[in-house]
Structure 1
Amino acid sequence: MESLLIPILILVLAGAGVLLAYRALGRRGARPRPEAMPQPGRDPVELARAAAAKLTQEQHRRLYALIAQGQAMAAIKLYFEATGEGLRASRDAVGALAAHPQPFRAPEAPQQAASDDDDAPQRFPYRYRAIASKGDVTREVSSNMLNDEIYGRIRTLAKSGDTEAAATALTRHSDISMKQAREFIALLDD
């Protein structure tokens, strides 16, 4: 009997050791990883809104196309390249965008106060052509500092009789001389 007692004790101790090791590994696997834990103050909806605001309309469309196709890695790569954020931040942002879809919103331009004639002229990405004619005489002013609103104010000044203010405003918003501006305004004032 004593000859069986020692192997049985060894078997029981080995089984207890295996059981303890299994429980220890089970607890380690059940514990959440630090990067997977939700960060306090990081609302996923707010994260999705902030992430969507960093994308252009084309990037936004392509990112959601990749999410819809189930290509999460490609979506993370696209977001990473578009924003320059880290991989973990890109992964979190794409996850938030997938869980809480956001419509594209164009960035809001800062609102400027209504411009007066005293303001420095703004350059536009297009050339505006203003044409005035009376009889056989035709004058044209072409400038990228004019638009419908500014030209409308110049015409209003001219029609109200304040031709000097209209000519001054025209020279401020174009590259013509005061003499040329007066000739142009004379054709407007009916």
Structure 2
Amino acid sequence: MESLVIPVLILLAAGAGVLLVARVMGRRAAGRRAGGHTPPADPVELARAAAARLTEDEHRRLYALIAQGQAMAAIKLYYEASGEGLRASRDAVGALAAHPQPFRPAAPEAPEPDDDDTPERFPYRYRAIASKGDVTREVSSNMLNDEIYGRIRTLARSGDIEAAATALTKHSDISMKQAREFIALLDD
């Protein structure tokens, strides 16, 4: 007799979950007949939109609650995760239960256009070395690369020392004084 207690409890919990979901769906149908809140016409679109509002962890937890028949806990989770109202959360969970949706990560944002004002960090350290006679200076930074260093050298060769020094300080962690000293050594 004791061996049947656990399976009977599991069966009762599953039955209670099914009754709860049926009750929620029945109330939804009664609300539509009474002229109350009407969910969007297409439940598949509602399910897609609802799934898109969830993170991967929330999505996984929500479907675990639906599978366990814990409709109220699923609605509460969706309500807290989405910030929507209680009725909208109920409708969304109902749509997700009726039309399961796979998790789709948010589309990656388009990269911002390359702007010289904000230096990009590279996964490597770039070393620029300038020397004249016995004097040698080195600048090492992960915000420099061949293209940027080439622009700095071009500015220095054209005589615009201040612009070259400003660009160098913007793309490295050296002071303006150190940048001017480095630029002065770039006479090729």
TM range (shorter): 0.5 to 0.7
Identity %: 57
Offset at residue 89 of structure 1 (A): 1.1
Whether the 8 Å contact between 1:80 and 1:90 is mirrored in structure 2 is yes
* Max Rg structure: 1
SS in 1 for 2:140: strand
Residues in 2 aligned to 1:54 and 1:84: alpha-carbon distance in whole angstroms? 10
Runs of 5+ in structure 1 lacking a partner? Answer: 1-28
Residue of structure 2 equivalent to 1:59 = 58
- Is 1:33 aligned to 2:26, yes or no? no
- Is 1:162 aligned to 2:155, yes or no? yes
Offset at residue 51 of structure 1 (A): 1.3
Please give the residue correspondences for 1:65-80 in structure 2 after superposition, counting only pairs within 5 Å: 65-80=64-79
Residues in 1 aligned to 2:178 and 2:125: alpha-carbon distance in whole angstroms? 15
Please give the residue correspondences for 1:1-190 in structure 2 after superposition, counting only pairs within 5 Å: 32-35=29-32, 39=38, 41-98=40-97, 99-106=99-106, 108-109=108-109, 112=112, 114-117=113-116, 119=117, 121=118, 130-133=126-129, 138-141=138-141, 146=143, 151-158=145-152, 161-163=154-156, 164=161, 167-174=165-172, 176-182=174-180
Aligned length: 149
Deviations 1:46-85 (A, max 9, x none): 2122212222222122222323333332221111111222
Residues in 2 aligned to 1:123 and 1:103: alpha-carbon distance in whole angstroms? 32
Whether the 8 Å contact between 2:66 and 2:74 is mirrored in structure 1 is yes
SS in 1 for 2:69: coil
TM-score by length of 2: 0.55
Residues in 2 aligned to 1:155 and 1:115: alpha-carbon distance in whole angstroms? 16
Call closer, same or farther: CA 1:173–1:139 in 2, change over 3 Å: closer
Call closer, same or farther: CA 1:133–1:50 in 2, change over 3 Å: same
Offset at residue 157 of structure 1 (A): 1.9
Give the aligned residue type for 1:109: E
Whether the 8 Å contact between 1:158 and 1:189 is mirrored in structure 2 is no
Whether the 8 Å contact between 2:127 and 2:138 is mirrored in structure 1 is yes
Whether the 8 Å contact between 1:154 and 1:166 is mirrored in structure 2 is no
Give the aligned residue type for 2:31: P
> Aligned Cα RMSD in Å?
4.1
Give the aligned residue type for 1:169: A
SS in 2 for 1:162: helix
